[in-house]
Amino acid sequence: MSTPSPADSPDSPDSGPRNETVIVFALSLAAMVVSMMQTLPVPILGLIRNDLGTSTANVSWVTTATLLSAAVFTPLLGRFGDQHGKKPTLVAVLGVMVAGSIVAALASSLPWLIVGRMLQGAATAIFPLALSVLREEVRPHKLPGAMALVSGTLAFGSGLALVATGLLTSGAGADYRNAFWMATGFAALALLAVVLLVPATRHKTGGRTDFLGALTLGAALLLLLLPVSQGHEWGWASGRTLGSFAGAAVMTAVWVLTQLKVREPLVDMRMFVHRPVLMANLAGVLVGFGMFANFLGVSYLVQMPRALTGYGFDASILRASVQFLLPGAIVSLLASPVGGRLVRHRGPRVALTLAAGLGAAGFAWLALDHRHSVSVIGAGLVVGAAVSFGYAAMPAVIMASVPHRQSGIANGINSISRSTGSAIGSAVVTTILASKTIEHLPAGVPPLPAESGFTLTFGIGAVAFALVGLISLRGLRGGRGAVAAGSPRPAATAATPAPAPPAPEPARTDKAGASATA
């Protein structure tokens, strides 16, 4: 890594005036909007199905298309931003999100709606790009808090989308397109904020874009996420599902071989398998799983008709969103600065351990008592705080473990890990509730999940967060610092130039997860 000049340092008085608060605000808004796109259609899939006259299996592509698009474009755009400028890439991606939202709002057929959702999914690259900008523009001692706030808006945005969609589609004759027009407004506002408030990129690595690596990685992720999201429709033992998983394994091997042969790979494999990065990605899968298991499990639970099932709260979509999901989303936002201070003063490992404990406790509470609204709401508050602390810790681990030039792609891979976990969570919840149904229901009543299905769902959520605790206590053991994987030499300080050492050495890191020498 080349040594930055004093003028390039965020602490330097010569770096020019800037307002860190407005930069963090703009990037937080952009991250919140991109997280809204993931959960926006969940409450209105039934409305879309009826309006467009399609099947349940076909309408599920409204959510699947966004996930698959994110899998392809997030690593490519994260790397592209590192090479050619983060702000121009951010602006371009936000422009694509605005266009996708308009296409979705105007769509009168399912194919065009899916096209709009694919364009919205490409905007998932906003989050890793935003963290890379923070690393450039925010002073090191404020970086953990800034990253935690931006990360916390992900959970808040996901919950806010559910609530806002419920509000917009609660009346008679509701039009699902109102939700996509709302998304258009938010996306345009985020685009304006980034254009006006985020400074131009100062660090560009240059180099060629590894399109072959992006293509093979995208193919591997497509083949993995497609059966995960569609397995409950295709059948988990069907030829399409098993063939897709096998294809994913083959393409993953092809991608690894490609990255080992290319001169300027999309992903430095030393960084990819570097222990802290690998553990952060595994934690991302589990936290993403837990977040979606909570959203979907609670949403389905509270809408169950008590007279037919013996449990549930007979809640409408609006009541389910406002009364049962919104409190947890608000807590996740309020917990973000707390998580940032915890990362700064105690390190990301402590924050991730606390997230694991809170998440396991919240899901255990739900598994043991989900017949009282106080328990459902209270457990949701605990899980919301857990997700926020987890999202605060993972970027700090990543930033401490990779050199500056790889921060975009590293956080892009971590973003994909969370999306993968969310897809697995959605598939697991759907499969469990569909397989455990009440046997004796009145004639004409569609199958309804048995209460044991929800108990199992919440129990699995508790196990997922317990595994996060194991990752934190065992996988990240060995100190708060992390090796800057892939760095050819340690960065020299401005005061004393360091000679090139004969072998790579770890870069020193502070507690906050920001490289002390970068």
Tens of pLDDT, residues 461-474 = 999 999 999 999 99
Q: Which two tokens stand for residue 308?
A: 């037919």
Q: Which of 63-77, 310-324, 401-415 has the highest mean pLDDT?
A: 310-324
Q: Are residues 237 and 342 in the same domain?
A: no
Q: Is the pLDDT of residue 149 over 90?
A: no
What is d(CA 273, CA 413) in angstroms, rounded to the nearest whole number? 12
Please list, residue by residue across 194-211, b when 16 or more beta carbons sit within 10 angstroms of its beta carbon and e when fewer do: beebbeebbbebeeeebe
**Is position 387 within any domain?**
yes
Q: Is the pLDDT of residue 171 over 80?
A: no
Of 248, 265, 282, which residue constitutes the final position of a domain? 265
Q: Are residues 361 and 402 in the same domain?
A: yes
Say which residue the tokens 């921060």 belong to. 407
Q: Are residues 259 and 272 in the same domain?
A: no
Q: Are residues 121 and 248 in the same domain?
A: no
Would you state the torsion angle of the CA atoms of residues 4, 8, 9, 15, taken in this order, to the nearest 10 degrees? 160
Rounded to a whole number of angstroms, the CA Rg of the chain reads: 22
**How does DSSP classify residue 325?**
I
Number of structural domains the chain divides into = 2
What is d(CA 160, CA 33) in angstroms, rounded to the nearest whole number? 10
In this prediction, residue 467 carries a pLDDT of 97
**Is position 48 within any domain?**
yes
Q: Are residues 256 and 392 in the same domain?
A: no
Q: Which residue, 368, 426, 415, is CA-closest to 41?
A: 426
CA angle 406, 410, 416 (to 5 degrees): 150
Amino acid in position 57:
A
Q: Are residues 25 and 40 in the same domain?
A: yes
Q: Is the pLDDT of residue 358 over 90?
A: yes
In this prediction, residue 105 carries a pLDDT of 94
Domain that holds residue 310: 17-200+266-437+447-475
Bigger pLDDT: 144 vs 376: 376
For the whole model, what pTM was predicted? 0.80
What is d(CA 104, CA 126) in angstroms, rounded to the nearest whole number? 20
